[in-house]
Amino acid sequence: MTESEALLRAQVLRSLIEKANRDYYDLHQPTVGDRDYDMWEKELLSLEEEFPFLKDENSPVRRVAGGLSEGFAKVQHNPPMQSLDKTHAKEELAEFDSFIRKSVDGFSYVIEPKVDGVSLSLVYSGGVLVRAATRGNGTTGDDITANVRTIAAVPKVLPPSAPKELEVRGEAYMTREGFVELNARQAAAGLEEFANPRNACAGSLKQLDAAVTASRPLSVVVYNSGGLGCEGFATHTQMIEAFREWGFPVSPYLKHASTQEELFAAIDELEKARHSFDFEIDGAVIKIDERVHYDTLGATAHGPRWARAYKYAPERAETVVEAITVQVGRTGILTPVAELKSVFLAGSTISRSTLHNVDQIARQDIRIGDHVWIVKAGDVIPAVDSVIKEKRTGEERVFEMPRSCPVCGGEVRREEGEVAVRCVNPACPAQLRRRLEHFASRNALDLKALGERVADALVDSGLVRDVLDVFTLSRERLENLDLAEGANAEEKEEDFQDGLLPGLFKPVRKFGRNAVNLLNAVDQARTLPLHRWLFAIGIPGVGVSVAKDIAAEHEKFSDLADSAVLKNVLENDLKKGKERKVLPIKVEAAKAVLSFFAGEYGKRFAERMASLSLDPQSEKKVSATSGALAGVGCVLTGSLSRPRHEYAAMIEAAGGIVQSSVTSKTKYLIAGENVGASKTEKARKLGTQVIGESDLLALLA
């Protein structure tokens, strides 16, 4: 491989890994299996070692992967919360063992399950839980104290035998049984079901309402120390026993090994027991038991050299790709799906698997009729691992993406530089179903009881032909909405009639009393602020934060279509040098919003809003003339004593405008601890006042 080829491949791998990290940590919607992800990491590391010019400290394989969320105060980790380097074969583990034996004498291993959950830190002061935080990017995490306090397994007060100042680290998880029960409740209420326990756990911990977290079946396993209170332990085993005595839940499996043979036997034993725990595991964690060696062995920016994660090969089963169908998402993206001959794998029957996009199908050379190996990525997500090409007969057919939308028959396009093929018809029923789901989601209009199944039924029944039709629904028609209509009804008919009276049985499941909940939520949505409505529309690139920034510069919804503010953003972008100003709204966001309202669908949407007498107001208009911070721009930064969303709500209630970055319109920079110099320096240059939390509370009072 030449240097130019290596550079190109490294760029591709970094892009793949970064996207996978965003999907997994930020969106909680993994789109790639662990095995593929780990192989990408391994290949990139090899390239960076073979071609030193590729080494970069910002490479995703040389730092801790993780995400930070809006609405939470930030916490600085000292020492950092690291990840673990991974091995996938016993040969690699033997190399780790050889490295340890050359580096230190007099050691043994301890082997524990690798829990597939969400890493967190728990800090106690005076024996009382004072802070809980996510790992985030390793150095900075989200403060989730209020949510973690709702988890029964987490001790809120420690016994007198525990250190007064203590930090422990572990993994939050959702129990297997609890995950099944939660999804059953979600389905019964017509709400979206979760993809797997890890995603359900991550989403539960990142709730802005702790009452939601309290309703979820969460638990924790504590397996390591932080920066406080555990300096005196000679071994990891002693520390774990102390954790147990202090009331922390610890791993139910802990084995010791002195030789390589004992180590291999322990990880094999654990693999056989992997489905016996009440949490998902995806491997074993191997650590040096004697803590005296930790400083000698040291660490990289990614993880400690005295520990390794041994990833188990995903369980797999052979099946046949009987067909490849295409699903259409909210934004019109066409996603190919493998329809499989049903096969039982790792506790469930698999009949479908997403193939992501046509490029991935080409890379794996998957054809209709192929025999394939199916795995469960992370023990949960069905994925096509590889094609068994030696079983090909010549009858297999190459898949081609449809040249028109498989749902509405409309035009499809693939933009330059994108892998996605999109249906460009905004009236497509498939897009409408998923758009309606987004419209009703929590950060949008929060329409209770309107989840995936209800959205499908509303569109299939013809009650909703546009998302705004929810404002014209009657109680009677909603109560009689049949949630078993459409394609699913045929499946249920076959399941229940058992060959008796064919064609006469039709399952019916009415929406019933949930109609009142939905209609009440629809009424409440009429008074929601502008930024919630702007996010609800689902304009690409306009997330929660961007919607708030745009809404803060407008008084009402009807101002957006021909917004002078957004046009000024585009004009400002064309200027050069000192003429260009720092504006709170990004150019891409301004383009997206103006393009939406200039299009046919956007024009119809605005007209329909007017006909329904809907013109949502910006929050700043509510208290702009009477609030203590009327019209004042504020930026929150640093580690604050209470969740950031609480301060943001207080500022907005007082007429203030919460901004994501310091601009010439920012009057106050509210700074907590550990503030970076760049923001304070920028504030000084722009004449922005830097104040503390107590100063803010005084202003609000």
Active site residue ranges: 114
First to last CA, the chain: 66
Give the residues across from 657 on adjacent strands. Answer: 633
Size of the chain in residues:
701
Maximal CA-CA distance, the chain: 80
- Give the separation between CA 436 and CA 429, rounded to whole angstroms: 10
Position 5: which residue type? E
273 Cβ neighbours under 8 A, 6+ residues apart = 253
Assigned token pair, 571: 């004009």
DSSP-based three-state secondary structure for 123: strand
Asked if 537 and 605 count as a contact pair (C-beta separation under 8 A), the reply is yes
Give every CB contact of residue 129 below 8 A, 6+ residues apart in sequence.
Answer: 122, 123, 145, 148, 149, 154, 155, 156, 157
- Kindly give, in sequence order, each residue whose CB lies less than 8 Å from that of residue 144, ignoring residues fewer than 6 positions away: 72, 120, 132, 133, 134, 205, 206
Q: Which residues lie closer than 8 Å to 179 by C-beta, 6 or more apart?
A: 194, 196, 197, 200, 217
DSSP conformation class of 510: B
Helices (H), 22-172: 34-50, 90-103, 145-148
Give the Cα separation of 481 and 485 in Å (integer).
Answer: 9
Residue 531 CB-density burial (10 A; 0-12 exposed, 13-18 middle, 19+ buried): buried
Q: Reduced to 3 states, what is the DSSP secondary structure of residue 666?
A: strand
Name the 3-class secondary structure at 271. Answer: helix
Q: Are 191 and 203 in contact (CB under 8 A)?
A: no
Question: Are the C-beta atoms of 507 and 533 separated by less than 8 Å?
Answer: no
Token code pair at residue 387: 């094609």
Helices 587-598 and 564-574 meet at what angle, rounded to 10? 130
Distance separating alpha carbons of residues 600 and 605, to the nearest angstrom: 9
Q: Outline where 468-624 has alpha helix (H).
A: 475-479, 487-497, 514-525, 530-537, 544-551, 564-574, 587-598, 600-611, 619-623
> Other CB atoms closer than 10 Å to residue 644's CB: what's the count?
23
Look up residue 417 and give its two tokens.
């530089």
Angle at 290 between CA 285 and CA 295, to 5 degrees: 90
From CA 336, how far away is CA 325, in angstroms rounded? 6
Q: Residue 595 is which amino acid?
A: S
